[in-house]
Structure 1
Amino acid sequence: MAQSARPLNVLIASDTYPPDVNGAGYFTHRLAEGLAERGHHVHVLCPSDEGDPYVTVNGAVTEHRLRSAPIPFQQHMRAALPLGMGGHITRLLGRLDPDVVHTQSHFTLSRSALRRARAVGIPVLLTNHFMPDNLYAHARVPRPMQRVAGAAAWRDMVRVAAEADHVTTPTPRAAELLREKGYAREVEAISCGIDLERFHPRPRDRARARLRFGLPDRDTVVFVGRLDEEKRIGDTVRALARIVPERDAQLVLAGTGQCEEELRALAAGLGVGDRVFFLGFVPDEDLPLVYAAADAFAIAGVAELQSIATLEAMSTGLPVVAADAMALPHLVEEGRNGFLFPPGDDALLAERLVTVLGPERSRFGAASREMALGHDHRRSLERFERVYESLRGRGTLRASSHRSLVA
């Protein structure tokens, strides 16, 4: 599809953005850069990574960083402070006069941007990346309170989403979940998308990649993502311990998180401490090499609304073994590009990994690549452009509202 006839002026509001390391922040960054590359005027409103507010131009994207403070229990992440936020956003909307505001959550910054934009007649698109399981980990919600907290969080999400002009989610399953939680209007599923040219099969780079990360030449299972509770990486460590008597295998974990020390202790206790490699934070430019070093990708989490990392692994040509939970079944066709397993069943996870590491691994991997082709990020950008175009000019109170609120 051709790009918009006239460049769009888009303000993207997100409560998380790089250097934060998570799927929502990563998607938002790539969306902003992709839109700018296609000739649109793109501004991002997000928390300051330094504390004090500032504005910077990063490539063709202008970042408006709001005053922030560290999130309790998550010192590597920051949240925008509510004091003065609404007025700041109103003034920014008056200066930028965006065609559309695209919010990435229902949290403080995104919610304020949504409501301030609607107040001045600017149409708003909301994309939901939220799952309560992620909230439990970050907010340290005690297990007995999680059900009540989750229900309250979903009610809040649905209330805020109902204020937007249009709502999207990364997958049909995520859209279905939002409807199950009480959202009554249309939800459009648009894949986060991946760069198929960056993440492609590169078997010739395997030896170099393993040397780069100090990995022995063994069957290698990889996971890329946060090492937090909802990712259930302990299941994969336990599966590795079951595999080792049968195969010379190892597990590579690329990411940081609250559970790293616990996972190290688990691996040592199971006798595979020397076969689990913690790469820590891996810069985005090095991620293709992480996948190139691997023979299979395993993901045991139960709170994935899409899983960009799984898509990247598939695009690189890796077989996938994934928990049969949330949106992951949309990425795995049993026996074609990999297998599913019941969450928590590390014995079946091990069995499935042995299968995909076997003689048919190339067939599984080729199928993964073929399936990933449907998630080209350029296609996702085109779909978001269509949504923006459909919303552009929809606000009927826009001119008078601007005059009254920014005067």
Structure 2
Amino acid sequence: MAQSRALRVLIATDTYPPDVNGAGYFTHRLAEGLADRGHRVHVVCPSDEGDPYVRRNGRVMEHRLRSAPIPLQTDMRAAVPLGMGGHIARLVQRLDPDVLHSQSHFTLSRTAMRRGRTAGIPVVLTNHFMPDNLYAHARIPEAMRTAVGDLAWRDMVRVAGEADHVTTPTPRAAALLREKGFAGEVEPISCGIDLERFHPRPAERSALREGFGLPDRETVVFVGRLDEEKRIDDTIRALALVSRERDVQLALAGLGRCEARLRALAAAEGVADRVFFLGFVPDDELPLVYAAADVFAIASVAELQSIATLEAMSTGLPVVVADAMALPHLVEEGRNGFLFPPGEPRLLADRLLTVLGSERSRAAMGEASRELAARHDHHRSLERFEEVYRGLLPAAPRPAYLERLAA
């Protein structure tokens, strides 16, 4: 009976929508997915408004803590440390969760982990962290990045050691954590992809391009932050080479601090009229961006999984990705796309030309992408997290009166 009852899950995260990043999106989907499966889900995260508040968002209860803007970043806020520990301790005591699932080792998440452990609550930690994703935001000089990265990894490993179970999105991300000194077990659990939301719709491609203000021609797409670590400049340089042989354009969906520089680069490369900045695309329209394209390209070297690449694959797009970090796990060379050496726009251009060269081959690659994406069905990921949670529960069920109080 204890194995079939609904679980009470408290998710702690330092980033959550409306923040725009992979970790925030994953956490949101995890919370909603668990709630849809009948579990009682609460999320504690920074307030997007500054002042604290509590609200029910669908089936998920959000506990937003007082926050302040993060220096040098205009699109994210951090929870204010003053009073945070007491607030989270009271929340843990009142909710009495079966498990606390932390999404990072940053201030709010680590505070929740420690308050959970003090209360005897099992703690799961999922690591989405790579220092490379923070260097540009924090204005870390190039010469200091190695030293700062080493310190950041040591801090992360120390916090991870306090969890009862540690997960990462991919085997490569798990290996990286072990390489950085984590001695415990690390389980790869995919972030997952909603195969129903992101699905092929080739008959709509021309109409969707028109809807996004794109000319009806071959389209390379990238979805994500327009920031330094994504190396979108390589993709623009590759487009300039590809456009010498094919009538092709690049659609960039997302915002970021590099947008002005990327616009200038497109002009310098002579492809300003072929690079389209779509800006922020609402979540309900995001599947349409992929469906408007012919191929997805990403030059980033700091991906622990790349949800965007999975979304593109689920939509039935061939993918051309940098041979770096976890991206190679998503490509079967020549079957659903190609890898290219990071920082080599000429080779990226060659791979794009190969994909675009034959419509028949491109369609076959798209079908293979969809097939490979099915391995990452988010229902599988949710089921595995449920199994992890239940495996951490005490052998004896809680008394009935506690169950009634928790309800």
Question: What's the TM-score, normalizing by structure 1?
Answer: 0.96
Instruction: Give runs of aligned pairs for residues 316-335 of structure 1, distance below 5 A.
Output: 316-335=315-334
Structure-1 separation of matches of 2:367 and 2:267: 34
Identical-residue share of aligned pairs (%) = 76
Partner residue in 1 for 2:376: 375
Q: Following TM superposition, by how much is the alpha carbon of 1:41 offset from its aligned partner in structure 2, in angstroms?
A: 0.2
Q: Does 1:78 align with 2:89?
A: no
Q: Please give the secondary structure, in 2, of the residue aligned with 1:75.
A: coil
Q: Does 1:297 align with 2:296?
A: yes
Residue type at the aligned position of 2:121: I
Partner residue in 2 for 1:47: 46
Structure-1 separation of matches of 2:182 and 2:20: 29
Partner residue in 2 for 1:170: 169
Structure-1 separation of matches of 2:124 and 2:167: 8
Residue type at the aligned position of 1:387: V
Deviations 1:222-242 (A, max 9, x none): 000000000000000000000
Partner residue in 1 for 2:234: 235
Instruction: Give runs of aligned pairs for residues 175-186 of structure 1, distance below 5 A.
Output: 175-186=174-185
Q: Following TM superposition, by how much is the alpha carbon of 1:4 offset from its aligned partner in structure 2, in angstroms?
A: 5.2
Residue type at the aligned position of 2:375: G
Q: Does 1:137 align with 2:136?
A: yes
Instruction: Give runs of aligned pairs for residues 366-405 of structure 1, distance below 5 A.
Output: 366-393=367-394
Partner residue in 2 for 1:403: none
Structure-2 separation of matches of 1:137 and 1:88: 32
Q: Following TM superposition, by how much is the alpha carbon of 1:137 offset from its aligned partner in structure 2, in angstroms?
A: 2.1
Q: Following TM superposition, by how much is the alpha carbon of 1:350 offset from its aligned partner in structure 2, in angstroms?
A: 0.2
Residue type at the aligned position of 2:263: R
Partner residue in 1 for 2:404: none
Q: Does 1:12 align with 2:11?
A: yes
Q: Following TM superposition, by how much is the alpha carbon of 1:116 offset from its aligned partner in structure 2, in angstroms?
A: 0.7
Structure-2 separation of matches of 1:15 and 1:295: 35
- Equivalenced residue count is 396
Q: Following TM superposition, by how much is the alpha carbon of 1:39 offset from its aligned partner in structure 2, in angstroms?
A: 0.3
Structure-2 separation of matches of 1:394 and 1:144: 52
Q: Following TM superposition, by how much is the alpha carbon of 1:344 offset from its aligned partner in structure 2, in angstroms?
A: 0.3
Change in CA separation of 1:394 and 1:153 when aligned onto 2, cut-off 3 Å: farther
Structure-2 separation of matches of 1:108 and 1:48: 14
CA contact (8 A) 1:99 1:393 kept: no
Partner residue in 2 for 1:114: 113
Deviations 1:305-359 (A, max 9, x none): 0000000000001000000000000001111101001100000000000111121
Residue type at the aligned position of 2:313: M
Structure-2 separation of matches of 1:5 and 1:140: 49
Residue type at the aligned position of 2:79: A
Structure-2 separation of matches of 1:282 and 1:88: 34
Partner residue in 2 for 1:67: 66
Q: Following TM superposition, by how much is the alpha carbon of 1:136 offset from its aligned partner in structure 2, in angstroms?
A: 0.7
Partner residue in 2 for 1:349: 348
Structure-1 separation of matches of 2:49 and 2:258: 25
Residue type at the aligned position of 1:320: V
Structure-2 separation of matches of 1:52 and 1:288: 33
Give 5+ residue unaligned stretches, structure 2.
400-407
Structure-2 separation of matches of 1:267 and 1:75: 25
Q: Following TM superposition, by how much is the alpha carbon of 1:393 offset from its aligned partner in structure 2, in angstroms?
A: 2.7
Residue type at the aligned position of 1:355: T
Q: Following TM superposition, by how much is the alpha carbon of 1:24 offset from its aligned partner in structure 2, in angstroms?
A: 0.2
Q: Please give the secondary structure, in 2, of the residue aligned with 1:372.
A: helix
CA contact (8 A) 1:228 1:258 kept: yes
Give 5+ residue unaligned stretches, structure 1.
400-407
Change in CA separation of 1:165 and 1:254 when aligned onto 2, cut-off 3 Å: same
Specify which structure has the bigger relative contact order, considering alpha-carbon pairs within 8 angstroms and separated by 6 or more residues: 1
Q: Following TM superposition, by how much is the alpha carbon of 1:7 offset from its aligned partner in structure 2, in angstroms?
A: 0.2
Deviations 1:256-279 (A, max 9, x none): 001000000000011000100000
Q: Please give the secondary structure, in 2, of the residue aligned with 1:76.
A: coil
Residue type at the aligned position of 1:93: V
Q: Following TM superposition, by how much is the alpha carbon of 1:394 offset from its aligned partner in structure 2, in angstroms?
A: 7.5
Residue type at the aligned position of 1:336: R
Structure-2 separation of matches of 1:59 and 1:303: 33
Q: Following TM superposition, by how much is the alpha carbon of 1:120 offset from its aligned partner in structure 2, in angstroms?
A: 1.1
Question: What's the TM-score, normalizing by structure 2?
Answer: 0.96
Residue type at the aligned position of 2:141: P
Deviations 1:41-99 (A, max 9, x none): 00000000000000000011000000000111111100001100000000000100000
**Off by >6 Å, runs of 4+ in structure 1:** none
* Root-mean-square deviation (Å): 1.5
Change in CA separation of 1:242 and 1:71 when aligned onto 2, cut-off 3 Å: same
CA contact (8 A) 1:122 1:394 kept: no
Instruction: Give runs of aligned pairs for residues 125-274 of structure 1, distance below 5 A.
Output: 125-274=124-273
CA contact (8 A) 1:11 1:98 kept: yes
Partner residue in 2 for 1:404: none
Q: Following TM superposition, by how much is the alpha carbon of 1:255 offset from its aligned partner in structure 2, in angstroms?
A: 0.1
Structure-1 separation of matches of 2:128 and 2:152: 13
Structure-1 separation of matches of 2:365 and 2:245: 20
Structure-2 separation of matches of 1:376 and 1:35: 14
Structure-1 separation of matches of 2:251 and 2:179: 36
Q: Following TM superposition, by how much is the alpha carbon of 1:8 offset from its aligned partner in structure 2, in angstroms?
A: 0.2
Structure-1 separation of matches of 2:356 and 2:285: 24
